[in-house]
Amino acid sequence: MFLGLQVEQLSTAFFTPREQFHAVSNVSFNLNKGEVLGLVGESACGKSITALSLLRLLPPGARIVSGRVHLNGTDLLALNQHEMRNLRGKGLACIFQDPHTALNPVRSIGVQFIETLKDRLGLNRDEAVAMAVNMLDRLGLPVPEKVMRQYPFQLSGGMKQRVIIALALCLQPEILIADEPTTALDVTVQAQVLWELNRLKKELGAGILLISHNMGVIAGMADRVAVMYGGTIVESGPVKSVFTRPAHPYTRGLLGSIPRLDQKNKRLCFIRGQPPGLAELNRLKEGCVFSPRCDLATAHCCNHPVPSVQVSSPGEEIHTAACHRVTAGGVASIYTCCREDHE
Ligand SMILES: Nc1ncnc2c1ncn2[C@@H]1O[C@H](COP(=O)(O)OP(=O)(O)OP(=O)(O)O)[C@@H](O)[C@H]1O
Ligand SMILES: [Mg+2]
């Protein structure tokens, strides 16, 4: 039996009376215990909807239309609401992207910790308070006892984000989904949070799905990475391989747009155009969703289903890219440097 999270061909759509709009299409990945899988991509590419699909906490109007999600062999899509609720927290926990809506606005932080830790871990009040104060302290919140007495509106965005992270870490889940956990934090606090996530992985063997658009965070934290665009995974593989030998033109564009101190006089590469909205994705479903923005796209790319091409050599850990223009093991054949001299 596979230990961890297995996602196969997951598709999620928003429904209107007349049409359905796919926000996530045929997404597949495995997340082993004790591993960090990074999920990266531009805004609106479907990262959060993927996470919410796994938790079965989709917004109104959205539904999983196909696919399979297994946690340690249990089919999550076959569980009833009660069973799913029992699994959230200890089995599968989430640090939600929006810290403003993730906390109950009319209950103090302390009450929210005590209720959750009593319910999920069976702790008594004193044990829950001690655990919460300790975790808030480890995440660098000054005077955690005071924070426990405060309400969400009395905390800054970064403080709220750390409270949510602390709550998720206290649960010591088998699988943690961390959706942009460090966006509102300055770099020193970010380092503390990443340290705690690493501890969860190393000491408790948790699997972490780390969603971020910060390539530096992914490079430093993840073991493997999946690059998402237009609701699909366009490239995935070990982090070192994807960062040093990016195959998909989209991944190359993302990496090329990161400013580098040693290339100050070069123009940053950027990906022209904007990511597609849901209506445009419906129009693009015959071919490659990235083709309208891709400098390498041909007419064939726009009209034919995209193959998944293995970029890694036999014997290496698997690295694949979903692109018509990538040939097996042949990244170099289409690789062009996207940084140009200013003058
Ligand atoms: N509640 C909603 N109602 C309608 N459409 C939505 C809703 N939430 C998300 N979407 C749409 O689903 C698509 C995927 O959104 P998602 O939130 O997963 O993006 P994301 O990759 O997490 O972006 P970001 O990096 O900005 O958080 C987008 O086109 C978005 O507009
Ligand atoms: Mg998001």
- pLDDT tens-digit series, residues 133-142: 999 999 989 9
Instruction: Indicate the pLDDT class of residue 14, thresholds 50, 70 and 90.
Output: very high
In a domain, residue 186? The reply is yes
Tokens of 189: 């606090």
Q: What does the pLDDT read at residue 5? A: 97
Residue (of 241, 261, 219) closest to 40 by Cα position: 219
In a domain, residue 259? The reply is yes
Rounded (10°) CA dihedral 123, 51, 178, 46: -160
Same domain, 181 and 298: no
Query: Probe ligand 1: pick from 45, 64, 215, max atoms within 8 Å of CB?
Result: 45
Largest separation between any pair of C-alpha atoms in the chain: 67
Tell whether pTM > 0.75.
Answer: yes
State which ligand 1 atom lies nearest to the alpha carbon of 51.
18
Q: Whose Cα sits closest to atom 4 in ligand 1?
A: 14
State which ligand 1 atom lies nearest to the alpha carbon of 44.
19
Same domain, 201 and 281: no
Q: Does 336 have pLDDT greater than 80?
A: no
At 109 the three-state DSSP class reads: helix
Residue 14: give its domain's CATH number. Answer: 3.40.50.300
* Residue that finishes a domain, picked among 222, 248, 263: 222
State which ligand 1 atom lies nearest to the alpha carbon of 60.
1
Same domain, 187 and 87: yes
C-alpha angle 241-242-248 in degrees, rounded to nearest 5: 135
Q: Does 341 have pLDDT greater than 70?
A: no
Tokens of 6: 């297995």
Rounded (10°) CA dihedral 170, 174, 177, 182: 40
Same domain, 298 and 172: no
Q: Residue 34's domain spans which residues?
A: 4-107+165-222
Tokens of 69: 């999600």
- Which DSSP string do the residues of 196-250 spell out, in sequence order? HHHHHHHHH--EEEEE-S-HHHHHHH-SEEEEEETTEEEEEEEHHHHHHS--SHH
Same domain, 50 and 191: yes
Tell me if 293 sits within 8 A of 273, measured CB to CB.
Answer: yes
- pLDDT tens-digit series, residues 51-100: 999 999 999 999 999 999 999 999 999 999 999 999 998 899 999 988 88
Number of alpha carbons in the 13 Å side-chain half-sphere of residue 249 = 22
Q: What does the pLDDT read at residue 338? A: 45
- Pocket lined around ligand 1, Cβ cut-off 6 Å: 14, 23, 41, 43-49, 59, 97, 213, 277-278
At 58 the three-state DSSP class reads: coil
